[in-house]
Structure 1
Amino acid sequence: MGIAFGPLFAGPMSELYGRSPVYRVSYVFFWIFSWPVAFAPNISVFLIFRFITGFCCAAFLSVAGGSVSDIFAGHEVAIPTALYTTAPFIGPMLGPLIGGCVNQNTTWRWSYRLLLVWIFIEVLLIFGLVPETYEPALRKEKAKRIRKSTGDSSFYAPLDKREGTLFLMIFVSCYRPFELLFFDTMCLLLNLWTSIVFGILYLTFQAYPYIFAVNHGFDIQSTGLAFIGLGIGMGMGTVTNIALIMYTHKQHPGVEPPPEARLLTGEVGAVIVPLSLFWLAFTSYPHVHWIAPVIASSFFGVGFMLCFSSTFTYLVSAYRPMAASAMAANAFARSSFAAAFPLFAGQMYTALGTDGATALLAGVMTIAAPLPFIFRRIGARQRAKSRFASH
């Protein structure tokens, strides 16, 4: 839930003060508040600071999408967005993979001590290598330099002329993702669809201990290694996504494809996801070789990446002036689902078994499969009615 609420603050703040300050401040606080997590004396302290660290590190789930839209023109943004999309979703695969090795051979605290080292390295890289990319913030800095060099106070940028108190400006900025979420039809529909997919991803993670530890007798480290299949699938999904993007550009030579054209990859992903989940469900038995569910999970990774990349690219393309806020709205919705779905995973897998529970998830995704086809059909009409989207 920290990751859900963090982008609501960080995304709009980056449109008020620029991307670079938000990256730097958020990651410094992420490092500082990770210390109480690593050395927590009890579960209460652990959970409180896990929420705070999630809130602090969430800037990259929303602001980075804005940075991509800053750097690349509209006709160039799709492939960089596809590559950016891979990063936050490779994490859930690397986490169990590395964490399994750490926890089996040391203690859980070393997972967070290792993170402390990694976060500190990233803080140094962010301060040393990440420049400001947000044009209004760059204009504000340029106006400041001109005022200083000339002594003429008449030079100003639009960000210098914001009216109202700082609190009011922050409140209005943080309200914007909710505006998009509740008053823009396409943003709401896409966020609900991807939230279901994301929630089911985290629910599926709960199946791994049942499939590999209980059914196949894997230890903690080996269960973590089983996530490699999902990571390979996400990599394959990224390559497939880039190929589909190039195909889309060929269909619109010389012009920027409309945002709805980006949903083609989502249509392919919406078909692959339920098929791969059915495959995972009915290969989860102890008498079936463990490689079968690993391969099934790789195809789930392909479909998952295609679904999310299409949504991210659509949001960055359609809501370009406020891409960070659009990504913040998506991060809030999907992370809320990801927080809620695992709460009933244990009971569901205990009651229905690995085959029944995973097949139930596959059934839900089968029902949801037509959604991107519908979104692609109605998208242009809904975007024309939107007061937020680019027309």
Structure 2
Amino acid sequence: MNNAETEKGAIPVTVNVVPGSNNSTNLPTRTSSMTNGESDYESGKGRTTFTAATVDEKALEDEEWETDPANPRNWTPSRKWSTMAIVSLYTFIPPLASSMMSPGLPEVAERFNIHSSTIVALTLTIFLLSFAIGPLFLAPLSEMYGRTWILHIGNIFNIGFNLGCAFAPSTATLIVFRFLSGFSGSAPIAVGGGSVSDLFNAQDRAKAMALYNLGPLLGPAIGPVAGGFITQSIGVKWVFIVIAITSGVGSVIAIPFLRETYAPILRFRQANRDGDAEKAARAHPALIQAQGSLLSIIWISLTRPLEMLFRSFICFILSLYMAFNYGIYYLMFSTFPALFSNTYGFGPGIGGLAYLGLGFGFVFSTLLGAKWGDALYKYLAAKNNGKAKPEMRIPFMLVGSIMAPIGLFWYGWSAQAKVHWIMPIIGTSIFSFALMTTFLPITLYLVDSFKYAASALAAAAVFRSMLGFAFPLFGKQMYDALGSGGGNSLLAGVAIVLGVPFPIWIYYRGEEMRARNPLTK
């Protein structure tokens, strides 16, 4: 029976569909239940009805899926973690590329005869502008067509665009290829968090999310270390060639072994193999609707991350705080070369080692933070009669919110006082530890709270990449005016305002706010 028809005596159930769809089946575009923590699709203002019997069939299929061996959450631990390792490898490479050229900025300026410090910084940060835009397109597409090929195709394009950077004949060409490489490189950022949600339940998600988050944070810290020695020995051109080679190795590993994790796609394929078209339609109605109204669905999907930012104060304020810290992180990349060259006399190769302080903080936080964060989350759930809530992620975040300004004060004033070079590096380690300690709970909170995990993370990624792009453009001017101590004190003050009172408020009022918002679970 057609889903749009109502049987005699059946209870009509109303759901959303995409307006203007010409699909003859009039399939619903919002499923009656959640799949792997993320509902399949939400559409526009059109409406249709289908029978309660159809809802019962869908509920039964959802229940069967919970115990199906094909469900990624039922995979063996080795298969889950090998999949997570490949996704994390993909997630590591583009952030590595984002900063790897930073020690070579003086050579870029000389090669292309650039005299503006803003244009020099733009060759580095333009990557982050497209890194912000990409998830708006790629995250919704992954929720329609699956995670795997979005990752593969993005990485393959990344190879070509980095080779374009290597052989760019002019500043404009370099900036264009950096922009394109940022867009293609955003694929893992757009879908990786969704993969974590696909594979792990909320109680087991922290370690996997820590591994996933390590790439976007550790990659930019390691990049300048390698980039400094490459630039000093064989030139900045080879920085981009090495990135292309690394991406190629990633594809060689991932294409044969990475498997799809998105439940609606897996269930859709399974139903098609069984020759059950109606079951396939119930498994992933958004994909069926796309056959009749692809542009409408893509438009709605593209606007979903922005809708989350503007309609959910929780998503907005947590994304803003994450973005502010990320902006400071990239501000350090653009100012480290001048600081450690002018103040401490470091060359490009040795100067790259200054970034290891950031990397140490990230690794230390990953090793301990996930364990501590999980333990605190489970402790609070146990005190609440075993009932876990997303707000139980917030207390661990406050540890990082307090440590971040401490690290900024330490870094800024020790650099201004020109004490031993290890002191500002220790300050950056404290800051990076705090950064990871806030990123992990925020990411988990967004995944736990919102119906569309990939789109929620895309919203946060857009925000943070925009500030990561913008901060280095004014960094030199700020430090020239205020000095390292004053500039970092200003940043620390804003970090305190954003990072302490609002999370405390969310901890006590977040559940009430989520209950009023249709975008949350």
TM-score calculated relative to the size of structure 1: 0.94
Partner of 1:3: 131
Q: Aligned partners of 1:265 and 1:153: how far apart in 2?
A: 46
Partner of 2:10: none
Choose the corresponding residue for 1:271, options 388, 397, 402. Answer: 402
Q: Aligned partners of 1:200 and 1:274: how far apart in 2?
A: 11
SS at match of 1:49: helix
Q: Give the superposition deviation at 1:155.
A: 4.5
Alignment of 1:48-59 (within 5 A): 48-59=176-187
Q: Give the superposition deviation at 1:78.
A: 2.1
Q: Aligned partners of 2:446 and 2:174: how far apart in 1?
A: 35
Partner of 1:157: 281
Partner of 1:250: 379
Which segment is superposed worse, 131-140 or 167-176? 167-176
The 1:153/1:78 distance shift into structure 2, 3 A limit, reads closer
**Bigger radius of gyration, 1 or 2?**
2
Which segment is superposed worse, 124-133 or 161-170? 161-170
Q: Unaligned 5+ residue runs, structure 2?
A: 1-128
Q: Aligned partners of 2:453 and 2:504: how far apart in 1?
A: 23
Q: Give the superposition deviation at 1:335.
A: 0.4
Whether the 8 Å CA contact 2:396–2:441 is kept in 1: the answer is yes
Higher relative contact order (CA 8 A, sep 6+): 1
Partner of 2:86: none
Choose the corresponding residue for 1:231, options 343, 350, 359. Answer: 359
Which segment is superposed worse, 259-268 or 358-367? 358-367
SS at match of 2:520: coil
Q: Does 2:327 correspond to 1:199?
A: yes
Q: Deviations over 1:171-220 (max 9, x none)?
A: 12112111111112211111111111111221233332243111111111
Choose the corresponding residue for 1:368, options 479, 483, 498. Answer: 498
SS at match of 1:167: helix
Alignment of 1:119-138 (within 5 A): 119-138=247-266
Alignment of 1:225-374 (within 5 A): 225-242=353-370, 243-253=372-382, 255=386, 257-285=388-416, 287-319=418-450, 321-370=451-500, 371-374=502-505
SS at match of 1:336: helix
Whether the 8 Å CA contact 2:271–2:277 is kept in 1: the answer is no
Partner of 1:87: 215
Q: Give the superposition deviation at 1:360.
A: 2.0
| Aligned residue pair count | 385
Q: Deviations over 1:321-367 (max 9, x none)?
A: 41110111011011011111111111112222222222222222233
Q: Does 2:192 correspond to 1:64?
A: yes
Task: In structure 2, give the amino acid aligned to 1:350.
Answer: D
Whether the 8 Å CA contact 1:34–1:53 is kept in 2: the answer is yes
Choose the corresponding residue for 1:182, options 310, 315, 322. Answer: 310
Q: Aligned partners of 1:269 and 1:123: how far apart in 2?
A: 35
Q: Give the superposition deviation at 1:100.
A: 0.7
The 1:155/1:313 distance shift into structure 2, 3 A limit, reads closer
Q: Does 2:204 correspond to 1:76?
A: yes
SS at match of 1:304: helix
Whether the 8 Å CA contact 1:69–1:77 is kept in 2: the answer is yes
Choose the corresponding residue for 1:377, options 508, 512, 515. Answer: 508
Q: Deviations over 1:139-169 (max 9, x none)?
A: 111122112xxxx655523325325422222
Q: Unaligned 5+ residue runs, structure 1?
A: none
| Percent of aligned pairs sharing the same letter | 35
Q: Give the superposition deviation at 1:229.
A: 0.9
Q: Aligned partners of 1:54 and 1:207: how far apart in 2?
A: 21
Q: Aligned partners of 2:233 and 2:269: how far apart in 1?
A: 50
Choose the corresponding residue for 2:272, options 136, 144, 148. Answer: 144
Q: Give the superposition deviation at 1:63.
A: 0.3
Q: Deviations over 1:17-66 (max 9, x none)?
A: 01112112211222222221111111111111111111111011120000
Q: Give the superposition deviation at 1:87.
A: 1.6
Alignment of 1:16-27 (within 5 A): 16-27=144-155
Whether the 8 Å CA contact 1:207–1:354 is kept in 2: the answer is no
The 1:285/1:183 distance shift into structure 2, 3 A limit, reads closer
Whether the 8 Å CA contact 1:17–1:137 is kept in 2: the answer is yes
Q: CA RMSD in A?
A: 1.6
Task: In structure 2, give the amino acid aligned to 1:307.
Answer: T
Whether the 8 Å CA contact 1:75–1:256 is kept in 2: the answer is no
Whether the 8 Å CA contact 1:139–1:157 is kept in 2: the answer is no
The 1:226/1:153 distance shift into structure 2, 3 A limit, reads closer
Q: Aligned partners of 2:151 and 2:245: how far apart in 1?
A: 18
Q: Give the superposition deviation at 1:277.
A: 0.6
Q: Give the superposition deviation at 1:260.
A: 0.8
Partner of 1:221: 349
Whether the 8 Å CA contact 1:4–1:332 is kept in 2: the answer is yes
Choose the corresponding residue for 1:169, options 270, 294, 297. Answer: 297
The 1:245/1:153 distance shift into structure 2, 3 A limit, reads closer
Which segment is superposed worse, 39-48 or 371-380? 371-380
Task: In structure 2, give the amino acid aligned to 1:257.
Answer: A
Task: In structure 2, give the amino acid aligned to 1:317.
Answer: D
TM-score calculated relative to the size of structure 2: 0.71
Q: Aligned partners of 2:387 and 2:482: how far apart in 1?
A: 48
Q: Aligned partners of 2:176 and 2:459: how far apart in 1?
A: 23
